[in-house]
Amino acid sequence: MGRKILFITTDQQRYDTLGCNGGTIARTPVIDAVAAAGVRYERAHPQSVVCMPSRSTMLTGQHPSTHGVWMNGVALPEDAPSVADVLHAAGYRTAIIGKPHFEPFLDPFGRFPENGFARNGTFGGHRGFEHFESATHGGAGPLHYARWLSTTHPEAVGMFYPVLDHSLEVNAAGGRDTGAPQAHHNPMPREWYHTDWVADRTISWLESLGADDDWFCWMSFPDPHHPWDPPAEETKRIDWREVPLPAGYIENASERERVLDAKPKHWRTWYDGTLVSNYEAPLHWVPATLTADQLREVTALNAVEVELIDEAIGRVLAAIRSRGWDDDVDIVFTTDHGELGGDFGLMFKGPYHVDALMRLPLIWRPAPSCAPDPSTVSRPVGLVDLAPTFCSIAGLPVPAWMEGRPLPIDDRDADARGFERVLTEWDSELFGISVHLRTITRDGWVCTTYQPGSQHDGTEGELYSLADDPLQRVNRWGDPALATLQSDLVADLWDHQPTMRTPLLPVDAPV
Amino acid sequence: MVGSAVGSAVGSTVGSIRHHVRIHRTAAEVWALVGDPARLHEWFPGIVACAVDGTTRVITTGTGMPMPEEILVNDPGQRRFQYRITAPVFQFHRGTIDVIDLDDGTCLVVYQTDADPRTMALVIAGGAAGALRELHRQMEPVGAKG
């Protein structure tokens, strides 16, 4: 009997939403306790700041350039390597429960297996997961949660916010007290909400296992990704009027616009509503219209969703304890990417490589039977390191096709094994608008180069000191005093950037 | 194997996406399949049935969803098939399939999707790209260049 692995992911969660990371709005005692007993990473970055490429990185241990999911809407090939395959082949029982999103959601032809299991009344296997039970942000669609809700509580299907509008664009409609985009009053009781469903189904799957089974369970919560429509009764936990504005929000509009103007131009054009460069942000929402009260309300609703996740995790951990497994279970908690959350007056996500989207919560509590020393890692690591970590936990060699390495357990380990840099990439081409970014984070700097696209000529960049400018307000790209540093960082980036897979995989849907 | 082009005027609600594939079979051989509206489900993954009645075709997708269409052009001389999906989710749709004789025993199959809302152009064209790959798989002799 070996070590079991509970891999917990959320969707679009900021680093600063957890108490253990300094968050002050959501109460997250369960995750905070996990962090206190394990390793807390202070500089964990995704390799893409949107869902499908990032989740594909978690599964494959490869950068997007390598696995080929270069933007949302590109399906991860069915024969792509999978850490779940590796673990299953080694005798692990494997499951993913919650949001997978390795394949597009908008799938009227039913072309993608991920969307077909619930329709067929099956649960995989797929991509190495012998049990594949899926959910996403609402009550409609082809996934297991939607089928469950429409069968058991059909009156509740329409209670969620409609994520897409009548044109199938990301919905900009506002609601609740302030009219904030994607804020919505959802009268659903929490027992029917997808967060508790994911925990319930996870517990059910764990209960189906034998006492001596080794298992790898990816529990994947769809929240706190927008829409912000948690069960209405739960929203009473936090009065949005008392919520402080985020540190990254610049209250003075002139100052905010001055900061945006010092960044590559797609920052300001999006803010002004003249260009939405990517599908993931509402096409008809203008960030410049965001009010402080709207931001307070969204922040509060987001925090409620984070609290519900924390409580759901607590129930799952209790179930694990009740099976007598706790000493042998590794717990890894992270998210796929961040959320702009009001930083620079922006919300949602897009081609913006700053901490709001790139600095992620990542916690690893090794199995207590290993007597781990609690620690904090400040060196850069990536989600690309997760799959190798799972192999390491299972006592398996890291396959050569994985590009990451097992996570360091402290800074000394990180230094000894050369955790110096982490890379993040963005590519999107949508209806004539193309944006291409490559980013390196190392030595306390975040450096982004822009490749030629419809909005950039390839000379643009961003360079921020994380020590002196933690909110990334002063773009030092092109500063003569930093010319050598900038040049070295760009050279190091290209020395380590994987070659883009060619030909590009097709875009099958917007998301 | 399948090439593509995506276009839309900035701010437009119409999306246009074109995919193409070269097939090492004569245009007449490929058209024999592509030009028969009742055989679409044989080469379009995700379409499981077709019913044709005059200029009306109803396809059934892999999710069980019926999708009504109007056949606009079926011209064996030009080897052009053009149709529109009439389901209410579309403000506008036009699908155009051309089989172009390359005069060397091969042909180019071009599948263009124009749709409003533009998001649906991506979804339909994603299926069309898969259809061209399947068409290539079915019609290319094993080992021929794609």
pLDDT at B145: 45
Enumerate the β-bridge partners of residue B112.
B18, B96
A284 touches chain B (CB under 8 A): no
CA distance A179 to A188: 20
Which of A111, A115, A168 lies at the smallest CB-CB distance from B119?
Answer: A168
d(CA B90, CA A299): 36
pLDDT band at A138 (very low <50, low <70, confident <90, very high): very high
**pLDDT value, residue B6:** 66
* Cβ–Cβ gap B122/A506 under 8 Å: no
B117 to chain A nearest CA, in Å?
Answer: 5
Give the model's pLDDT for residue A500: 96
- Ordered by where they begin, the domains of chain A are 4-496 (3.40.720.10)
Q: Is A273 on the interface with B (CB under 8 A)?
A: no
Average pLDDT score over residue span A156-161 = 96
- Count CB atoms within 10 A of the CB of residue B3: 14
pLDDT tens track for A21-64? 999 999 999 999 999 999 999 999 999 999 999 999 999 999 99
Q: What ipTM was assigned to the predicted interfaces of this complex?
A: 0.90
Amino acid at B118: R
Report, as an integer, the average pLDDT of A217-224. 98
Best of A71, A103, A106, A109 to disrupt the B interface by mutation (most B CBs within 10 Å)? A109
What is the C-alpha separation between A492 and A476, in angstroms, rounded? 18
- Domains of chain B, first to last: 3-34+69-139 (3.30.530.20)
From the list B61, B62, B129, the residue facing A506 with the nearest CB is: B129
Across the interface, whether the CB atoms of A108 and B117 are under 8 A apart is answered no
- Determine if residue A246 is left, alpha or beta; phi over 0 gives left, psi from -120 to 50 gives alpha, anything else beta: beta
Q: Is the pLDDT of residue A165 over 50?
A: yes
Would you state the structure tokens that stand for residue A341, as one six-digit string?
């959350």
Distance from CA of A272 to the nearest CA of B (A): 14
Average pLDDT, chain A: 97
B60 shares contact with chain A (CB less than 8 Å): no
Rounded Cα distance, B78 and B31, in Å:
10
What is residue B101's predicted lDDT score, i.e. its pLDDT?
97
Which candidate, B46, B127, B41, places its Cα nearest to that of A508?
A: B127
Tell me the DSSP string of A317-332: HHHHHHTT-GGGEEEE
Under 8 Å between Cβ of A300 and A25? yes
Give the span between the Cα atoms of A114 and A134, in whole angstroms. Answer: 8
Q: What's the confidence (pLDDT) of residue B146?
A: 40
List chain B residues with CB under 8 Å of A433: 10
Element (H, E) at B113: strand B107-116
Q: Tens-of-pLDDT digits for all 146 residues of chain B?
A: 677 766 665 567 899 999 999 999 999 999 999 999 999 999 999 999 999 999 999 999 999 999 999 999 999 999 999 999 999 989 999 999 999 999 999 999 999 999 999 999 999 999 999 999 999 999 986 655 44
